[in-house]
Amino acid sequence: MMGLKALAALALSACLPAFLLAQAPGSVVTGTVRDSGRTPLGDARIIARDLESGFTYTARSSLAGRYWLPGLPPGRYALTATQVGYQPVRHASAVLAVGQTLTIDFVLERSVVQLEPIEVVANENRVATGESGIATVFDREALARLPEESRQFTDLARLAPGATSAVETGEPIAGVSVGALSAYSVGIVVDGGNLMGQAINEQSGRIPLLAVQEFGVVTTSYAAEFGQAASGVINVATRRGTNRFAVEGFGLYRHRALNTQGTFEAAKPAYNRTHWGVAAGGPLARSRTHFFLAVERRVENAFVTVATGGAFPSAEGTFRTPFTDNLLFARVDHRAGQTHQLTLRYTGELFNQVADVGQSPFCAAVGGGGPGAYEQGVTRDHRMHSVLLLDRWSVGTATTNEARLHLITYTEDREPLGVGGARIYPSLCAGSNLVQARLGNVRAEFKDDLSTTVTGATGTHRLKVGGLASWLAPATRVVTFAPAAFIFATDSSSLPALAFVGLGANRLNVRSLQLGAYLQDDWSPVSNLMLNLGLRYDLETNGTNQGFVSPLAGSLPFVTAERRPIDADNLAPRVGLAWDPAGTGRTVVRGGFGIFYDQALSYLIALERSTARLALVADPGTTDASQIPIDTALVPAAPTVLGRRMRTPFTRQFSLGVEQALGEFVVRVDGLLVYGRNLPITRELNTLDASGMRRFPAYQSVLQSLNRGEALGKLLLLRATRQFARSWIDVAYTLASRQTTTDVWFQRVPQVDPDEEDFAGELGPAAWDERHRIVGLAGSHLPLGFDGTVKIVYSSGRPYNAVTGTDDNGDTILNDRIPGEGRNARRGPDFFAIDLSLARTLRVGAADLRLRANVYNMLNRKNLSSGAVVGNLRSPLFGNSQAALSGRQVELGAEAGY
């Protein structure tokens, strides 16, 4: 029976406020304790000892013999089961992954004399039989051996089945798409703290890979504690100090002499890069208090080549795009007795980068299609600081409470390299960048989770209730349209056909409170069946100007004086199943259904409240904004309006799969169906008629942002792994069809009828829709003491939009599609690369020295960039990609550990 303390704690936790946050579910060890006659043993004591930190965690089995050890940090554990009158049994080494539910059963023999524990070592493959979702874990060993040129977990996450590279948008969003939706719907949590900002679901910063213990790519999970991500979640656990003092470091170096010449480069640029890091950890008090510190620094003298096929010789060339990144990490863990544990963690990032050269996403969104000249680039100056405090305590042996307090702040200045306005041609984007910005966000969040185990006639229930609250405010956010943007009808035009002149800036000053709560029941009615039952509720107090009354009411027919209602019906039921039909731990059938909500993009608030104006001038006769006669007092407003009812984007997800251990192989097949609703979609409503008159003459432009976008994803995921005596192999294949009504929130769709809000005709392939993606990973211990790891990635061509390059529907945007073609109807180039890592370890005194050589794109394959395909029909470069990813690169370095 549940104790009064546990009941009181559950009741209190259920009343806590909550915010819409993707969280890290605690790792769990569960199983049964039986005697040799298979009779359940109640009140058996199970002790899990972390083999590195010395921390221990204790649970008691129920009358049905079931036990739970929730909220464990990932790592290696020794588990011991004891009962009076029985000989103890110990599993000497159990590896627990981040977010995993690991099943370990005990069989105890009767004994009248206390004996040493019997040690059990598992020697056959078993699968996780307590998990109903789809997830891929990258542990510390994988992070150390896999070649990844950026050393960032978000890039390594692309290797998971169902994940791929995100579309380049020019915004600080995550570089990975998980599942069916874009990076705008991906969540990233580090030690249970949210790493995402609210403006555009941007990634607030990065952490050193030296500080990552492991991470999981959760394609779909039916745990109700997951929120804020309508697609996938990357769940990161950071490293902790142990009872052994240890120091490690690495240094990597690249030089142009080791690289091949780029596809569009006339000669090798003076490229070089240094990347180094140091980490240290150990005990402040053995088995009680530990620390861990890490720092990484990357300095890269990088270059980008701009190629226009001879259309603009003066803009072509290879240009320097330097990058400097500093990553900081510190963590202290303290065990204040058997029932109480405290963690204090800091992580920070300071980087400066020249970006947007070669590709210009913002320019392409308003009618361009070619590469971005050097002057189109921007300098990004980014600063992030995050502090997290975790308090974990136990109430008896069946109940655990975790409370987190997290403060994260980031700012980013985006300064254009060029001046004088943007010049947009069919084959080139020149002049200054369209967007100058000062971004920033402050998030203060509190989260409390309480879990307890209840047993009875219906089986065993692991109940978990959570409350969350997150206060968000813009640190600084000012976005200014370029002084002017000039659009040219053809590459040879000497004068622009249209000029956009920006007056004023968008400022985001609205604060919001994200609230949410969930109740979850992991129910095991019998030992070989797990049901994940959950219900989650989410609310944002001002996600999309809720309660706002537009001052445009009455002057525009589709804007009313009604207060926008609060989107308060975000109820998300979830149910999952994990069934081991034979009860052997070698086969599991998984499936589930759930609803998942995003956080609202608060930048839409800035657009609706903005007082910035935009002057549109046809045939301005000049590219000098100062020479265009504009009476600013007479320039009409250029408002952005939101829909009458703004709802939070969400998805319905359904999956079904099976995982089977076949001798040394483990094979898994999953099907995933995702249907998304309420996604942002934007259009221009103040169109021109045949005589050049505007539909709403009192306004220069009327943008409307609705949440009527849709998405449909169908994915088949296959994965096979095998561990040999001296080698291993991991192969994954993804067959996908991902459709959306728009790829990027700021891209304007051609549909303009203000009375028509059905965008089904816009549903087409997503820009990140790779029909086929194959990832092969393998490693082996080689002769002469060498270790080798190979990474092979193939993906089929991504879609791109073919446009006429003219304004056929009068919305002043040159993104009208070729008649008869749907959205993203064409396919760009495919991608194929082989990366190799070769290392040899030497023993130098008490330290290990590991010499390493990494080779990226070993076969020097010419991989044209799918994001740089010219889709403007008026360009002579139509259908060609004017940028390529790097050719073969060689990196030399060393790692040391003590």
Long-range pairs of 668-671 with CB within 8 A, sequence gap ≥ 24: 668/127, 668/717, 668/718, 668/719, 668/720, 669/716, 669/717, 669/718, 670/134, 670/161, 670/590, 670/716, 670/717, 671/715, 671/716, 671/717
Helix, strand, or coil (residue 413): strand
704 Cβ partners below 8 Å, 6+ apart? 558, 640, 641, 642, 643, 682, 683, 684, 685, 754
Task: Using the structure block, give the residue that is written with the tokens 């969540």.
Answer: 187
- Environment class of 566 (CB within 10 Å of its CB; exposed 0-12, middle 13-18, buried 19+): middle
> Residue with structure tokens 């589930």?
592
Do residues 46 and 79 lie in contact, with contact meaning Cβ atoms separated by under 8 Å?
A: yes
DSSP string, 331-352: EEEEE-STTEEEEEEEEEEEEE
Residue listed under structure tokens 């980008």: 304
* pLDDT tier at 606, thresholds 50, 70, 90: confident
Between these two residues, 388 and 308, which has the higher pLDDT value?
Answer: 388
Q: What is the pLDDT of residue 114?
A: 58
Q: Which amino acid is at 426?
A: P
Q: Under a CB-based contact definition with an 8 Å cutoff, are residues 164 and 768 in contact?
A: yes
CA-closest candidate to residue 178, choices 679, 831, 651: 651
pLDDT in tens, 127-180: 777 789 999 999 888 898 999 999 999 999 999 999 999 988 878 889 999 999
Dihedral of CA atoms 127, 131, 134, 137 in degrees, nearest 10, equals -60
Q: In whole angstroms, give the CA distance from residue 405 to residue 852.
A: 40
For 240-275, how does the pLDDT look when each residue is reduced to its tens digit (9 = 90+)? 999 999 999 999 999 999 999 988 988 999 999 999
In angstroms, the CA 288 to CA 80 distance is 20
Beta sheet of 193-194, edge-to-edge order: 134-138, 212-220, 233-238, 187-190, 193-194
Q: How far apart are CA 433 and CA 416, in angstroms?
A: 5
Q: pLDDT tens digit string along 295-328? A: 999 999 999 999 888 889 999 999 999 999 999 9
For strand 101-103 and strand 27-35, is the pairing parallel, antiparallel, or unpaired? parallel
Give the C-alpha distances (Å, rounded to integers) separating 528 from 302, 460, 523, 654.
55, 12, 11, 22
Q: Which residues lie across from 212 on neighbouring strands?
A: 238
Task: State the burial class of residue 456 (Cβ atoms within 10 Å of its Cβ: 0-12, 13-18, 19+).
Answer: exposed
Cα–Cα distance measured from residue 19 to residue 388, given in angstroms and rounded to the nearest whole number: 16
State yes or no: pLDDT of 756 exceeds 80: yes
What is the SS3 assignment for 703-717? EEEEEEEEEEEEEEE
Q: How far apart are the first and last CA of the chain?
A: 49
Nearest to 248 by CA among 201, 210, 285, 221: 210
What is Dmax (Cα atoms) for the chain?
A: 101
Confidence of residue 122 (pLDDT cuts 50, 70, 90): low
Answer for the pair 499, 617: CB distance below 8 angstroms, yes or no.
yes
Q: Measure the CA–CA gap between 650 and 679, rounded to whole angstroms.
A: 8
How many other C-beta atoms can be found within 10 angstroms of the C-beta atom of residue 114?
11
- CA gap 655, 717 in Å, rounded: 11
Residue 527 pLDDT class (50, 70, 90 cuts): confident
Q: How confident is the model at residue 5 (pLDDT cuts 50, 70, 90)?
A: very low
Residue 100: the pLDDT is 77
The total of other beta-carbon atoms located within 10 Å of residue 611's CB is 12
pLDDT of residue 368: 59
Measure the CA–CA gap between 441 and 439, rounded to whole angstroms. 7
Pick the closest to residue 20 from 520, 401, 443, 609 (CA basis): 443
Interacting residues of 288 by C-beta distance below 8 A, sequence separation 6+: 334, 335
Rounded distance between C-alpha atoms, residue 168 and residue 768, angstroms: 10
Distance CA 884, CA 886 (A): 7
Query: Phi then psi for 154, rounded to 5 degrees?
Result: -65, -30
The average confidence (pLDDT) of the chain is 87
Q: How far apart are CA 721 and CA 138, in angstroms?
A: 13
Reported in sequence order, the residue ranges of 663-785 that DSSP labels E, i.e. its strands, are 665-684, 703-723, 727-740, 764-765, 772-781
The answer to whether 193 and 388 are in contact (CB under 8 A) is yes
Residue 730 has pLDDT above 60, yes or no: yes
Judge contact between 91 and 69, C-beta under 8 A: no
Residue 724 contacts by C-beta under 8 Å, 6 or more apart in sequence? 664
Q: What is the pLDDT of residues 393-447, one digit of tens each?
A: 888 777 889 999 999 999 999 898 988 888 888 888 888 887 788 888 899 999 9
User: Among the listed ranges 27-36, 199-208, 378-387, 732-741, which one has the minimum average pLDDT value?
Assistant: 27-36
CA dist 474 and 511 (Å) reads 7
Residues composing the chain:
898
Strand stretches in 457-484, DSSP E: 459-473, 478-481
Chain segment 493-517, per-residue pLDDT in tens: 989 888 888 777 777 777 888 999 9
Query: Cα–Cα distance between 79 and 28 in angstroms, integer?
Result: 13
Please say whether the beta carbons of 554 and 633 come within 8 A. no
Judge contact between 221 and 25, C-beta under 8 A.
yes
Separation between Cα atoms, residue 37 and residue 284, nearest integer Å: 46
Higher-confidence residue of 371 and 786: namely 786
Which element (helix H / strand E) includes 446?
Answer: strand 435-456
Q: For residue 802, what are the contacts with CB-CB under 8 A and spacing of at least 6?
A: 817, 818, 821, 825, 826, 871, 873, 878, 879
Q: pLDDT tens digits, residue range 819-840?
A: 889 999 999 999 999 999 999 9
pLDDT band per the 50, 70, 90 thresholds, residue 9: very low
DSSP category for residue 500:
E
Residue type, 316: E
pLDDT class for 561, splitting at 50, 70, 90? confident
Distance between CA 57 and CA 400 in Å, rounded? 11
- 561 in helix, strand or coil? coil
User: pLDDT-derived band of residue 3, with 50, 70 and 90 as boundaries?
Assistant: very low
Collect all residues with Cβ–Cβ distance below 8 Å to 174 and sequence separation of at least 6: 154, 166, 183, 186, 188, 203, 234
Residue with tokens 């393998």: 778
pLDDT of 619 higher than 90? no
Task: State the Cα–Cα distance between residues 89 and 104, nearest whole angstrom.
Answer: 12
Rounded to whole angstroms, the Cα distance separating 66 from 34 reads 9
Bridge-based pairing state of the strands 826-827 and 831-844 = unpaired
String of b and e for 401-438 (b: at least 16 CB within 10 Å)? bbbbebebbbbbbbebbbebbbbbbbbbbbbbbbbbbb
Strand (E) or helix (H) holding 361: helix 361-365
Q: What is the 3-state secondary structure (H, E, C) of 93-131?
A: EEEECCCCEEECCEEEEECCCCCCCEEECCCCCCCCCCC
Q: What is the tens place of the pLDDT at every residue in 847-877? A: 889 999 999 999 999 999 888 888 888 888 8
Stretch 718-739: mean pLDDT: 94
Return the pLDDT at 435: 79
The answer to whether 597 touches 572, Cβ cutoff 8 Å, is yes
